Amino acid sequence: MSDPDRSNLDDEYCERIRTLLEDAYVSADERGDVFGGSGSTGDLTSWEGKRRVIALAFDRAGNWLDVGCANGLLMETLTAWVAESGHRIEPYGLDLSERIAERARLRLPHWATRIWTGNVMKFEPPIRFDYVTALSDAVPMQSRGTLLKRLARRYLKPGGRLILSCYRPGAFLLGKPALEAESASEILRAEGFEPVGEAEVRDPLTGAAKVRVAWVNVGR
Ligand SMILES: C[S@@+](CC[C@H](N)C(=O)[O-])C[C@H]1O[C@@H](n2cnc3c(N)ncnc32)[C@H](O)[C@@H]1O
């Protein structure tokens, strides 16, 4: 597939994602459901149960970009969880949807100038980061390799850490819940990146993976 064809496909995919998520995230956030404003369900305990695992990838201080930051809840909570292990993280956010990003700016006015709107495949970050988190479904499957290389080359500082997460997609996206989250390690390996760490959260009842995270250090 030629690059213009792939770029059109990426644009169509992003437009589909934006249409699918925007109203749901914005209206949830507007009615005070901060978890729904980040595409999740439940309360702080369940949010922590699904997201704290990402904090394991942070082992030193630095700045961090959350690609697909939604209403900024992960920026807020993960920074606090990482601080518990003594590492000070400065969070930044990027979201495809201007309406969703605006909810993050409204909720987190002290960070408003570091929450940007844009498609990760086109956005040019004004600074480089020590850490970048991204979800595997930010792009169509066939563009994952391009996404990972783009994050490594254009978003991260030399020696920075790329953290890839896979969540079990909900009924909302698929029509029916998927059985398991994909393996972030396998995705990284398939694209030529060797993970230096990985972690996961499993459903205590079924044993199915709900969240799978893996991270790589990019070249110096
Ligand atoms: C499920 S939320 C993630 C919230 C939070 N980062 C977390 O991990 O829980 C996914 C967000 O990613 C955004 N997103 C999806 N594709 C994107 C892309 N290509 N570039 C930037 N943001 C994207 C969506 O608009 C949505 O707000």
Residue pLDDT, tens place only, 28-74: 999 999 999 999 999 999 999 999 999 999 999 999 999 999 999 99
Over 90: is that where the pLDDT of 197 sits? yes
pLDDT of residue 57: 98
Q: Model confidence at 170, in pLDDT bands (50, 70, 90)?
A: low
Q: How far is the CA of 54 from the centre of ligand 1 (A)?
A: 15
- Identify which of 96, 95, 111, 103 has the alpha carbon closest to the alpha carbon of residue 26: 103
**Closest C-alpha residue for ligand 1 atom 27:** 70
pLDDT of residue 175: 52
Least confident residue range of 1-10, 98-107, 144-153 = 1-10
DSSP state of 28: H
Ligand 1 atom nearest to CA at 39: 1
Residue carrying the six token digits 């059985």: 179
pTM of the model: 0.94
Cα–Cα distance measured from residue 144 to residue 127, given in angstroms and rounded to the nearest whole number: 22
- Computed over every residue of the chain, the mean pLDDT equals 93
Least confident residue range of 17-21, 35-39, 129-133, 155-159 = 17-21
**Closest C-alpha residue for ligand 1 atom 16:** 138
pLDDT of residue 171: 46
DSSP code string of 115-174: EEES-TTT---SS-EEEEEEEGGGS-GGGHHHHHHHIIIIIEEEEEEEEEEEEPPPHHHH
Over 70: is that where the pLDDT of 8 sits? yes
Would you state the CATH architecture of domain 3-217?
3-Layer(aba) Sandwich (3.40)
DSSP E strand stretches across the chain: 62-67, 89-95, 115-117, 129-135, 156-167, 197-202, 209-217
Q: Model confidence at 176, in pLDDT bands (50, 70, 90)?
A: low
Domain boundaries, given as residue ranges, for the chain: 3-217
pLDDT of residue 166: 97
pLDDT of residue 177: 54
Least confident residue range of 24-33, 59-68, 71-80, 161-170 = 161-170
Q: How far is the CA of 199 from the centre of ligand 1 (A)?
A: 20
Over residues 141-160, mean pLDDT? 96
Contact 100 CB / ligand 1 (< 6 Å): yes
Ligand 1 atom nearest to CA at 38: 4
pLDDT of residue 2: 61
pLDDT of residue 31: 97
Q: Indicate the top mutation candidate among 9, 22, 38, 121 to test ligand 1's pocket, ranked by most ligand atoms within 8 A of CB.
A: 38
pLDDT of residue 10: 83
C-beta of residue 213 within 8 angstroms of C-beta of residue 200: yes
pLDDT of residue 9: 80
Core vs surface per residue 122-141: b (16+ CB within 10 A) or e: ebebeeebbbbbbbbbbbbe
